[in-house]
Amino acid sequence: MNVQNNVNFTGLYLKTNEPMAVGTKSINKLSQILKERGGFINRLEQEENTDVFINETLDKVSLVHDEYGEDIHKYIKPELSLDEFSAKNEENIVANLREAVKKFAHDWKVADFWAQLHMQ
């Protein structure tokens, strides 16, 4: 058996509401995504503490931050099409993600400050 894609990261998930059968077409599509975007998915996981979730129709992705979870979607688009999740948009995606994390962290600090202030 000749294995061409040796995936060595955990930052990619299928996001499904119900269990989903994975057929040849789905495996081929996932393989294509990994071949084209695997390095970027790994970068998001390693450098940005963010996992990538692909929807069950394998045409949209959403980003979930390790610390802030899906709540990060308050500051970034909840889903990106695979076309938007392209190499030409990599730096823009990272910049938007970093800005969203910065805003979320700021709001979290403000909320914590007000909570502590009202507890006194």
Evaluate if pTM is beyond 0.75.
yes
The whole-number pLDDT of residue 97 equals 97
Q: Which helix or strand (DSSP H or E) is residue 60 part of?
A: strand 60-65
Check residue 30 and give its pLDDT: 87
> pLDDT digit string (tens) for 44-94?
999 999 999 999 889 999 999 999 999 899 999 999 999 999 999 999 999
Nearest to 38 by CA among 2, 9, 3, 4: 9
pLDDT of residue 9: 55
In this prediction, residue 36 carries a pLDDT of 92
pLDDT given at position 95: 97
